[in-house]
Structure 1
Amino acid sequence: MSDTSSNVPQQQLPSEELQSQPMPVINLGHLSLDPTSRCRVVDDIARACRDLGYFQVINHGISQSVMDDAIEAATDFFNLPSETKEEYASDDLQQPVRYDTSSKDGISMSRAFLKHYAHPLCDWLQYWPQQPPIYREYMAKYAVEVRGVALKLMEAILEGLGLDTEYMHVKFDEGLQLLSVNCYPKVSEGDTTIGLAAHSDYGLLTILLTSCRGLEVVDRSSNSWKVVQKLPHALHVHIGDHMEVLSNGRIKTVVHRAVLNPREERISIASIHGFALHEKVSSAKELVDEKNPPKYKESSFNDFLEHLTANLDNRQRNFLETLECKGHI
């Protein structure tokens, strides 16, 4: 995750005083209907990506039971004894599974998290926690299904950019999936506590499943924080830094944060999708010409991890900013 503290609104109002942010709610089931319906959905996704950098999806094909099971598995993991969870603790960002309660990334304020790779599942499942007993089964089923949603979305986003839907198909199909499973504690009524400070997501696309409200986004038009409402059976979608690079700036990443919920503990499962670990992302050649030269240098997910490791004490430095070609942003 890229820290963006120098580019976000400074006010820290309680969530109850913030304005709720209306957002597009897109019916993904219409992508598979007639060409006219598909075109309409692709246009809606393109507009949301261009204007906001986020949207919600319904009729995405993942059953409520699979989503509930994933939340249950995450909750049960965080309820395990500390010594059991600490078996996965590591300062090495390259570890396939990593648990922590206070991150050195400069944005984690009050959360516990478990991060692990999920694709190809057969390569990574062996590293996942064996406790609680349901964890591997429930989280694996969700991981596979949410990746299917991500592939549909990325195809539609590329189509909305005017790129061939087969564009970089192999790179997407063989790409990376990282699950960031988070637990935010309940906060005392009246307190204003940030669980995860303002940041943008690395990778191409993030799909977020959450147990209750607590997500806020920056509204670009007013440069202010807006509360994201939790809709039944909906998944929240964020555009990541690498999608901004791939689109050569036509799509912008979204700055967001997590606030603690005064009523209940909050679980969120962020499924982050991108190219393979060492695969470079650059601006699509079809979106580059004399009037629109490349605005970003190419980079990989591994480059991001190395940047994060090298800049643990420099928390103001945004990874995406390091990729900008001077004079074009």
Structure 2
Amino acid sequence: MVGAEADNSNLEWSLPVPSVQELAKQQPDTVPSRYIVDDMDCSITTVDTDSSDDHHVPLIDMTKLVNPDSHNEELQKLHSAFKHWGLFQLINHGVPDEIIRNMKEEIQNFFDLPLQEKKRSAQKPGSLEGYGQAFVTSEDQKLPWNDMIFLKALPVQNKNVSIWPQKPPKFRETLENYSEEMRKIAVTLARFMAMGLEIEAEEICKAYQGGRYEVRMNLYPPCPEPERVIGISPHADNSGITLLLECGNTPGLQFLKDGRWVTVVPIDDAIVVNIGQISEIMSNGIYKAPDHRAVVNRLKDRMSIVMFCYPDSSINVGPAKELISSGNPPLYKTLTHAEYLHTFTKRSLDIPFIDLLKI
């Protein structure tokens, strides 16, 4: 979802915390104890320049997916990527360069604002939406090394206009345009996902066309002891599809693959696509929502824009009927959308969320 695991069974709100960006500006030699993760393990990290396909994040080309001459081959690549990795990098996705460029500039401009200006969009009690941090539910909880702003983008009636930043002046318009483009990609990917699973696609596409889109914009400042902190703790998303745009060339996003953390090396303007747990359930476990995390850099900051895409709330969350037979029973419960989200926000964190949904 919007971030990492917490230490409480209510994930619908977050306590206010200090700005990591302001802390980093002081150029400390060491990290405050509340940010130090005792069991942080970077020793198994590998970089996505490995010549082995087993440790190279798949690359999918949207132009090949929509081209009849190359469609079948690229669709099989997409199906394999979702099945064996749960993610891929998407190139030639069709989002206009200007919209990508403007979105990157506006999130940079937002985080460049004075702290007091950013706080005009601060989270309110009882809500995750706004500027701050996600899932901080106790005063002694370990904190991630990042600042973020989380906003509900679509449908329009879900927007909390009082939280959306008024500065920088083009931020709102730019995010609205960007959100519409992400919806187009999600609808298209939902169609191809259904084709890869050989299930009926129109209902899924319609569900994402009218679905819920929420955006988290992250800043990971430079850290004097990057090996002792975490940008975002390991987690799987509870969305249907997640679309991530890197705002620069600083690596930091890592996915767990065969017990090893694989770093996603940024490709200019590519979108990292990963499966969320709604799609894992819909595929009856054929596709897996991958665990992922963010690590930080000693010298450079990193910014990312993450769009969480959910199907329409009228759609039940359960295995697709075409994938169920006497020889292939459902592995997951079928819940209403409301029941699914309630289970997520009210669960005990001793058990992985996806395990609560298994039959």
Q: How does 1:139-154 map to 2 (within 5 A)?
A: 139-154=175-190
Gaps of 5+ in 1: none
Q: For 1:249, what is the secondary structure of its paired residue?
A: coil
Contact kept, 8 Å, 1:147 with 1:177, in 2: the verdict is: yes
Q: For 2:334, what is the secondary structure of its paired residue?
A: coil
Cα–Cα, structure 1 residues 317 and 281, in superposed 2: closer, same or farther, change >3 Å?
A: same
Q: If the length of structure 1 is used for normalisation, what is the TM-score?
A: 0.86
Tell me the residue number matched to 2:321.
285
Contact kept, 8 Å, 1:107 with 1:197, in 2: the verdict is: no
Cα–Cα, structure 1 residues 114 and 203, in superposed 2: closer, same or farther, change >3 Å?
A: same
Count of residues in correspondence between the two structures = 313
Shift of 1:109: 1.2
Tell me the residue number matched to 1:45.
78
Contact kept, 8 Å, 2:62 with 2:91, in 1: the verdict is: yes
Residue 240 of structure 2 aligns with an amino acid whose one-letter code is L
Q: How does 1:146-225 map to 2 (within 5 A)?
A: 146-188=182-224, 191-211=227-247, 212-220=250-258, 223-225=259-261
Identity %: 27
Provide the C-alpha distance between the structure 1 equivalents of 2:96 and 2:216, rounded to a whole number of angstroms. 20
Equivalent residue for 2:130, pick from 82, 85, 98 = 98
Q: How does 1:11-30 map to 2 (within 5 A)?
A: 12-13=41-42, 18-20=46-48, 21-30=55-64
Q: How does 1:247-262 map to 2 (within 5 A)?
A: 247-262=283-298
Provide the C-alpha distance between the structure 2 equivalents of 1:181 and 1:190, rounded to a whole number of angstroms. 20
Shift of 1:48: 0.3
Tell me the residue number matched to 2:118.
85
Cα–Cα, structure 1 residues 140 and 163, in superposed 2: closer, same or farther, change >3 Å?
A: same
Q: For 1:109, what is the secondary structure of its paired residue?
A: coil
Q: Does 1:72 pair with 2:105?
A: yes
Tell me the residue number matched to 2:354.
320
Equivalent residue for 1:226, pick from 262, 279, 290 = 262
Shift of 1:183: 1.2
Provide the C-alpha distance between the structure 1 equivalents of 2:243 and 2:75, rounded to a whole number of angstroms. 17
Cα–Cα, structure 1 residues 210 and 37, in superposed 2: closer, same or farther, change >3 Å?
A: same
Provide the C-alpha distance between the structure 2 equivalents of 1:115 and 1:22, rounded to a whole number of angstroms. 30
Cα–Cα, structure 1 residues 63 and 262, in superposed 2: closer, same or farther, change >3 Å?
A: farther
Contact kept, 8 Å, 1:53 with 1:254, in 2: the verdict is: yes
Provide the C-alpha distance between the structure 1 equivalents of 2:205 and 2:71, rounded to a whole number of angstroms. 19
Provide the C-alpha distance between the structure 2 equivalents of 1:120 and 1:310, rounded to a whole number of angstroms. 25
Provide the C-alpha distance between the structure 1 equivalents of 2:336 and 2:148, rounded to a whole number of angstroms. 23
Provide the C-alpha distance between the structure 2 equivalents of 1:299 and 1:114, rounded to a whole number of angstroms. 30
Q: Deviations over 1:225-256 (max 9, x none)?
A: 11111112211111100000000111111110
Provide the C-alpha distance between the structure 2 equivalents of 1:242 and 1:309, rounded to a whole number of angstroms. 15
Tell me the residue number matched to 2:272.
236
Q: If the length of structure 2 is used for normalisation, what is the TM-score?
A: 0.79
Q: Deviations over 1:99-142 (max 9, x none)?
A: 21363277961211111121124652735221211211222221
Cα–Cα, structure 1 residues 302 and 85, in superposed 2: closer, same or farther, change >3 Å?
A: farther
Q: Once superposed, what is the RMSD of the aligned Cα atoms?
A: 2.6
Residue 322 of structure 1 aligns with an amino acid whose one-letter code is L
Contact kept, 8 Å, 1:217 with 1:254, in 2: the verdict is: yes
Cα–Cα, structure 1 residues 276 and 102, in superposed 2: closer, same or farther, change >3 Å?
A: closer
Equivalent residue for 2:89, pick from 53, 56, 62 = 56
Contact kept, 8 Å, 2:226 with 2:297, in 1: the verdict is: no
Shift of 1:70: 1.0
Residue 118 of structure 1 aligns with an amino acid whose one-letter code is A
Provide the C-alpha distance between the structure 2 equivalents of 1:193 and 1:63, rounded to a whole number of angstroms. 36
Q: For 1:167, what is the secondary structure of its paired residue?
A: helix
Provide the C-alpha distance between the structure 2 equivalents of 1:267 and 1:208, rounded to a whole number of angstroms. 11
Gaps of 5+ in 2: 7-38, 49-54
Residue 41 of structure 2 aligns with an amino acid whose one-letter code is Q
Tell me the residue number matched to 1:130.
166
Contact kept, 8 Å, 1:3 with 1:316, in 2: the verdict is: no
Provide the C-alpha distance between the structure 1 equivalents of 2:301 and 2:337, rounded to a whole number of angstroms. 31
Contact kept, 8 Å, 1:247 with 1:287, in 2: the verdict is: yes
Q: For 2:70, what is the secondary structure of its paired residue?
A: helix
Q: For 2:316, what is the secondary structure of its paired residue?
A: coil
Residue 165 of structure 2 aligns with an amino acid whose one-letter code is P
